[in-house]
Structure 1
Amino acid sequence: MKALVLAGGTGTRLRPITHTAAKQLVPVANKPVLFYGIESLVAAGITDLGIIVGDTEEEIRAAVGDGRAFGATVTYIRQERALGLAHAVLVARDYLAQDDFVMYLGDNFIVGGINELVRKFEAEKPDADILLTRVDDPSVFGVVELDATGRVVRLQEKPPEPASDLALVGVYLFTPAIHEAVRAIRPSRRGELEITDAIQELVDRGLTVRSTTITGYWKDTGNVPDMLEVNRSVLDTIEPCLEGSVDEASEIIGRVRVGRGARVRRSRIVGPAVIGDDAVVTDSYVGPSTSVAENCVIESSEIEFSIVLAGSSLKGVGRIEASLIGKDVQVSRALHTPRAHRLVLGDHSKVQITP
């Protein structure tokens, strides 16, 4: 069995972070989201990975390499334009050949992995197996309708009036039957080849499409609130580890990981939290559910329930919470000025200011 990992999206909901970085490489607990998916596939015994890439191909290649670091073999497949999930299957036709495969969206996060799902598929051999979960707002997802016996009868992509609250999770298992279905469909009103339409084609042809509804933790990390929530969830599982230096004037409480070369001085860190390699935390408070990446500086500041990417600094800025701060960002206190906010913000930024 092979895997088709989709890592070509532009990440419009994570702008401005994704103006300069691939959304699949935004870190959760200081590790890119994409790496969690790759590790789940390898843990399930799938080591032949085809990664769909687009405009951020260079970044993805630099981060993942040839796959050996994960115990996998990686083939990169270029998708010139993001024309839908089914289009990605079409583009990868030669790579997939006649093999069964898992299609895995590179910005999805599933706690517990997919081992059982893969074993079930290999044992029972349906034409497709789709992963579902119940959501509060199904209108922004692919939605699946089941009959009284649990059989898949209808799929719709982002319907204005959903027939159920069952949404497609970004993991699909297919036999080669999907290739004929993909070739049979036409672009949707969004101008994309929808995987929901291709699966519906399988259903309409009387092929076996099974579903598995998960009750565990799943998130599409396509926006900031979900990214912060996934970060919190992953940090809840970390084991404490102090590889850097912490002085006697500092206090470490709970599950905290301090990376190699990191220095904590006269500060209080309350876990779960991660301080990256060579970061410096001085006269500060780092609260629960916070990831501070490598080479960051936190000085005379407070931060909680946030993600700070590599090379950024917070100096004398009071309290920050529920924030995603990009790479090489400088946040500092304005001195000797009237009470005012001075901002330099990129396109699609979001800022909340206390009056």
Structure 2
Amino acid sequence: MHDVEAVVLVGGRGTRLRPLTLSAPKPMLPTAGVPFLAHLLSRIRAAGVRHVVLGTSYLAETFSEHFGDGAALDLRLTYVVEEEPLGTGGGIRNVAEHLSAEHVLVFNGDVLAGTDLTAVVDTHRRTEADVTLHLVRVPDPRAFGCVPTDADGRVTAFLEKTPDPPTDQINAGCYVFRRSVIDSIPAGRAVSVERETFPGLLAAGRRVSGHVDSAYWRDMGTPADLVHGSADLVRGLAPSDALPGPTGDAMILDGAQVDPSAKVFGGSTVGRGARVGAGASVEGAMLFDGAVVGAGAVVEHSVVGAGAVVEDGAVVVDTVLGDRAVVGSGCELRGGARVWPDAQVRGIRFSPDA
């Protein structure tokens, strides 16, 4: 697909993930051993796209410092910074002058997905659509707005959240735009594609197609989603060519030390220079670089930030520990605890039923 370009909107920090770190935007958080954005870029590259425009705002320099011009990924990367929040539509319009292809893939940079991107573009071309949306079927669409389609694959409406949705199809955050549609989005102001651009196209009788599948999909908006998405990448349930090692029950990165008596499983990642002590149990967790889990400690479905320490015998479940945080020996944190970077927690048992 050398005649297709891609745009990735990666502007937001994601306040629900803020306790993890004070120095990295969400798409750059380590996920299965590499920045989350690397997984999406690998899928774009695998689909045959070579030019990707990153629409950024918060800590924009972090992206260019890590990925550079994209040559190491066999991509050409262009960076465009939003001076003020422009929404999805405004963010797409803001990068228009850097695009030259007739058709443009657009991605929400906070989504982990496994759909066949070539198939999405094929649907767009076959139906001669102005815009094509990737729609994914989910078991319970009540938490999302839904997008019904007719027998011909045309999108018929964009519906808000409802307790009784008429379809299980939701917007998966991946689109194909005709360049002329991008140019028609108002410039210089905030625009929502979901509330303004797409409904406007339907009202004007333009062709909006849906590419519907049941591929892997997860919105990475919460710490729980980040943890489970990372575990799915490690186990090979979510596709990526960016993994730093083979898929399996755990990913142990270079320089990590895991005591032979420790158990590390469930799609856990143990970062570079991290240490897991004797008899410890780490299940479905993310240990960032330099993290330490002491002897006999239990860490489940949690994030342990860079340089953070879970001391001997501590229990950390469904918890986020910021960089360099310390959980003292014998402490127990469960069910949504958040510990800020550099904080120390001692003599505490916390859980929703405490």
TM-score by length of 2: 0.81
Q: Match of 1:94?
A: 97
- The alpha-carbon deviation at position 119 of structure 1 amounts to 4.0
Q: What are the residue-to-residue correspondences of 1:69-108 with 2, within 5 Å? A: 69-97=72-100, 99-108=102-111
Shift of 1:103: 0.5
Structure whose residues are more often strand by fraction: 1
Alpha-carbon distance in 2 for matches of 1:157, 1:57: 32
Who is 1:316 aligned against?
312
1:280 corresponds in structure 2 to: 275
What is the CA–CA distance in structure 2 between the aligned matches of 1:165 and 1:112, rounded to whole Å?
17
| Distance in structure 2 (CA, Å) of the matches to 1:315 and 1:173 | 49
Q: Does 1:256 align with 2:250?
A: yes
Who is 1:208 aligned against?
A: 207
Tell me, in whole angstroms, the C-alpha distance in 2 between the residues paired with 1:225 and 1:334.
24
How many angstroms apart in 1 are the aligned matches of 2:205 and 2:170?
22
| Paired residue secondary structure (1:13) | helix
1:228 correspondence with 2:224 = no
Q: Deviations over 1:220-263 (max 9, x none)?
A: 1011222222122222229xxxx9xxxxxxxxxx7333222222
Please state whether the residue corresponding to 2:102 is helix, strand or coil. coil
What's the counterpart of residue 128 of structure 1? 131
Question: Which structure ranks higher in relative contact order (CA pairs < 8 Å, sequence separation ≥ 6)?
Answer: 2
Code of the aligned partner of 2:102 = D
Q: Distance in 1 between matches of 2:313 and 2:272?
A: 23
CA contact (8 A) 1:297 1:314 kept: yes
Query: Are 2:303 and 1:304 aligned?
Result: no
Query: Are 2:19 and 2:320, in contact at CA under 8 Å, matched by a contact in 1?
Result: no
- CA change 1:148–1:96 in 2 (3 A) is same
Letter in 1 for 2:310: L
> Amino acid of the residue matched to residue 263 of structure 2?
I
Displacement of 1:216: 1.9
Amino acid at match of 1:201: G
Return the offset for 1:175. Answer: 0.9
Aligned ranges for residues 133-282 of structure 1 at < 5 Å?
133-135=136-138, 138=141, 141-156=144-159, 164-183=167-186, 192-196=190-194, 197-237=196-236, 255-265=249-259, 267-271=261-265, 272-282=267-277
Q: How has the CA–CA distance of structure 1 residues 207 and 280 changed in structure 2, closer, same or farther, with 3 Å as cutoff? A: same
Contact 1:235 1:289 in 2 (8 A): no
The structural deviation recorded for 1:160 is: 9.0
| Corresponding pairs, count | 325
Residue by residue, what CA displacement relative to the aligned partner does 1:253-305 show, whole Å, maximum 9, x if unpaired? x7333222222235322423332222222224233322322222111211122
Alpha-carbon deviations, 1:112-145, whole Å to 9, x = none? 5523223443555422110112346656645323
Q: 2:153·2:211 contact (CA, 8 Å) conserved in 1?
A: no
State percent identity of aligned pairs: 26
Structure 2 gaps of 5+ residues are 238-243, 332-337, 342-349
Against the structure 1 CA distance between its residues 344 and 86, is the aligned structure 2 distance closer, same or farther, given a 3 Å change threshold? closer
**Is 113-122 or 226-235 further displaced after alignment?**
113-122
**Secondary structure in 2 matching 1:212:** strand
Change in 2 beyond 3 A, CA 1:157/1:96: farther
Amino acid at match of 1:209: V
Q: Tell me the residue number matched to 1:248.
A: none
